[in-house]
Amino acid sequence: MDEEVFPAWSWSVDRCLKAYNVKLEKGLSSYDVEKQRELYGWNELKKENRKPVWQLFIQQFDDMLVKILIVAAFISFVLARFEANETKESGFEAYVEPSVIILILILNALVGVWQESNAEKALKALKEMQCESCKTIRDGYLVPDLPARDLVPGDIVELRVGDKVPADMRVAVLKTSTLRVEQSSLTGESVPVLKATRPVLNDDCDLQAKENMVFAGTTIVNGSCVCIVVNTGMSSEIGQIQKQIHEASMEESDTPLKKKLDEFGNNLTIVIGFVCLAVWVINYKYFLKWEMADGWPTNVQFSFEKCTYYFKIAVALAVAAIPEGLPAVITTSLALGTRKMAQKNAIMRKLASVETLGCTTVICSDKTGTLTTNQMSVMSIFTFGGKTTAPRMFPVEGTTYDPKDGCIVDWKCFNMDANLQSVAEICAVCNDAGIYSDGWVLRVTGLPTEAALKVLVEKMGVPDAKAKNKIRCCEWWTKRSKRLGTLELDRVRKSMSVILADGSVVPMDEACRKLLLSRHAEMSSKGLRCLGLAYKDDLGELADYDGEHHPSHKKLVDPTCYDPPREEVHSAIEDCRGAGIKVLVITGDYKSTAEAICREIRLFHEGEDLGGKSFTGKEFMGLSPSKQRDILSKPGGKVFSRAEPRHKQEIVRMLKDMGEVVAMTGDGVNDAPALKLADIGIAMGITGTEVAKEASDMVLADDNFSTIVSAVGEGRSIYNNMKAFIRYMISSNVGEVISIFLTAAIGIPECMIPVQLLWVNLVTDGPPATALGFNPADVDIMKKPPRKSTDTLIDSWVLFRYLVIGSYVGIATVGVFVVWYTQPSFMGIDLTGDGHTLVTVSQLRNWGDCSSWPDFSATPFAVGGNRVISFSNPCDYFTTGKVKAMTLSLSVLVAIEMFNSLNALSEDNSLLTMPPWKNPFLLVAMAVSFGLHCLILYVPLLAQVFDVVPLGLNEWVFVILVSAPVILLDELLKIVTRSRKRTTKIKLA
């Protein structure tokens, strides 16, 4: 009997009982229970099969950059092993490179496993919403604490105030005059819902319209009843939500940045493969020689040693091309971003979401608790004067249940006349609500409207000043007035009354009545819920009131609810308009209520025609797909009311299919599937359910919509800073690739070895790149439209800039190597003070033929003061003897990258307008990186591992002179960039 063939809400109670062959007073028999369990199973949510940790760990390596690194590490390890076998030595230094690469990959994989293992806690939170036991009638007996897991369709269950509903059930009998259920977490309705027993004559109605059904996970807040279990376990509404959460998790897509980095990795793979092969092939003459005879090669000579050497150069090029430190720097930058957002009450649960938030194009916001406070509050008091008929209006400040949140404007609390005292007394006595503190959050028992009236009484005070300091105001009034009986509020009476031991009659003439009615109409038009307060000692014609057929029933009106909007929301809506972000309100509340709130927060202008802008979920889903897309694509705000979970999901899915980056807010269980499906799921930290929080990417600590807008600005700033350090790291890597390519192309010894490149990419580049994440945000960051998800990370002009800067890095790095071997001085700086031998450029390019040079000798030279580099074989001058030249090349590379980090402060702005001290963290990071470089130069053990030597003062001056021009070069490129943008802007205008 699934819900499609058994619409219990549209059937009478007798028909439902007959369908299950059960009686209310008897319940199911044990035999029937077993039969039902065979059909429907246990009343529990399905446990999802989670991937084992080892499988999650393996998945972390499914990335193109990671695969390249694995191959490079494997080849490095094989070559190191081969060299160790040849030399019969341990060769510890040769194993440093593959060991470091593997260590980095393992650490990244562990971080990925940790993040994914925390991703599916939403399902666990759903299970925690289920109650543990319930009162059930079985075999004619009441079982007071039957495990909720044992329930089957057809069971008869008793519910009362405070009970958590154990399954989806049809209300059969009301044991009190009213029954209210708090189901906002499931449907989004802002107030507890009145339930009844009469059928809803509609086989296909939305969840909110099923007024005779109670749903698993909701709570009884008023009254008691007897129900028939209809749906259990995964067939219940909460079970359907679990299915939707699981389906949404299957549809999760990569973040915009991840997609761009993957695309970059794939392109980089092709380039690396081609360049590595080219470097190896163009040096074939050094390891493969032959003579031609009759057009055929003869006397072929192959040097495995030289072949291996140039293969190692190709591997070094791969190490240089891959920005190994990029994943670590991105993770660090995102972590810093989450900390900054947390300070603004936006708690990020997933690091990657920080960047995604910055490119948000649409915010789909729940109404209750996000745009509004989800706390009823009194906005104003209207009364007549004490002894006159002069009307008085007292505005009331504050939108929460905290009595200290605002006050009554122009209120003299210790000078209340009889009218105002009556207002306070009625609000305090005719009230069953309670307010209590749950940590630093105020929560309510009972009805929100009555809680709001209690808060009002606390703000009004009491006539007795001494009592005010000793006792709460509500307690003072309730002790002062004796409550004899209660006619409680229900869906028929639409009012609540109490009988007091003392009281008096307040006369009202026609003029007062007209004034009251006009004030009522004025306040109702603003979406306010208007309550009339009065007392009398004679009930008169209402003494025998018995329901809607009573002749006086027409005097009782049905006002709309009012959940006040947050004061900050309207300015946040304006910020969204300025930032080019569309706002859609999706709520389970009534259409009229949702529209009134949207007008008040200025999503819509006063008097604006809402045709094509306001729909119920059912109305919107009834439109054709093309019409739906047309509505969603139009600019301006939209509101969707009476929306069920599937409606929210479909709207989010459509927006994503249209290329939008969607942020979805919510606090209820019903919001969880859409939160999971959205690019950014945003849950409420105070009023949000654990299900919503666990399904989200971000949690708002203050439940405030304006915090989302602030976080979007922070996300945009973080993305700009990430682009800055990606630009910095990639341009540096391009320089390393070009330097190695030039080395191989002109045939000189390799000027840097892989372990040195790895050190630069991981350690010396890391601190400046991370510090670029602290660049200050642009002042107009929320005045620009969001970037498109299709925008490339590296466009053609940026790539050209990379190549220009990279070419200079490569030429400078190789150039100092050549100058040291071939020139006695550079710009007046003596380079021969260490006594090394000078050679010609031709000799350097043909160093492999050294053994055939006549009378060639190499003089020992000094390094680091005491150490002398000497050679048993003169040709070793180009291998072990290149240690000083390699150190100069490495130092130039590090120095250039430090200067280049200054260029990355701004993509377009000159250092004259964006000076280095705008980001003091960068200056500190540069000092740290340069200090680390000096560490490996001047600590003997590290110098041996990295094959470097100390440099003297002259050599440092040489390094700085060669490195500094990179700043001037990029300043020229920035001038061209600014000129291009001005031209483009003029053309667009």
Please give the positions annotated as active site.
366
Q: What CA–CA distances, in Å, run from 246 to 118, 231, 239, 838?
A: 14, 20, 11, 71
Burial class (CB in 10 A: 0-12, 13-18, 19+), 660: buried
β-pairing, 825-826 with 829-830?
A: antiparallel
Which run of H or of E encompasses 967? helix 965-988
Cβ contact 345:700 at 8 Å: yes
CB atoms within 10 A of CB 737: 27
Q: Which two tokens stand for residue 121?
A: 């806690």
Cβ contact 612:634 at 8 Å: yes
β-pairing, 582-586 with 638-641?
A: parallel
CA distance 423 to 421: 5
Cβ contact 486:498 at 8 Å: yes
Q: Letter for the amino acid at 810?
A: G
CA distance 579 to 752: 47
CB atoms within 10 A of CB 791: 11
For the chain, how far is it from start to end, CA to CA, in angstroms?
65
Nearest partner of 893 among 726, 727, 731, 724, judged by Cα: 731
β-pairing, 680-684 with 698-700?
A: parallel
Q: Which two tokens stand for residue 272?
A: 């690396």
Q: Which two tokens stand for residue 666?
A: 């919510």
Contacts of 366 (CB under 8 A, 6+ apart): 188, 585, 586, 587, 665, 666, 667, 668, 671
Cβ contact 355:257 at 8 Å: yes
Q: Tokens 């990335």 map to which residue? A: 63
The most distant pair of C-alpha atoms in the chain lies apart, rounded to whole Å, by 130
Cβ contact 844:836 at 8 Å: no
Residue-wise over 633-654: b if at least 16 C-beta within 10 A, else e? eeeebbbbbbbbbbbbbbbbbb
Q: State the Cα angle at 318 between 313 and 323, rounded to 5°.
A: 135
At 33, give phi and psi (nearest 5°).
Answer: -60, -45
Q: Which two tokens stand for residue 9?
A: 């809400």
Task: Identify any residues that bridge with 147 across adjacent strands, giving them in sequence order.
Answer: 133
CA distance 974 to 450: 64
Q: Which two tokens stand for residue 556?
A: 């009782």
Which run of H or of E encompasses 147? strand 141-147
Q: Letter for the amino acid at 518?
A: S
Q: Tokens 């700085």 map to which residue? A: 960
What interhelical angle do 256-282 and 64-87 show, nearest 10? 40
Cβ contact 170:12 at 8 Å: no
Q: State the Cα angle at 93 between 91 and 99, rounded to 5°.
A: 105
DSSP 367: I
Contacts of 927 (CB under 8 A, 6+ apart): none
CA distance 163 to 174: 15
Q: Letter for the amino acid at 78?
A: V
What interhelical angle do 304-321 and 256-282 show, nearest 10? 160
Q: What CA–CA distances, in Å, run from 532 to 291, 293, 537?
A: 110, 114, 17
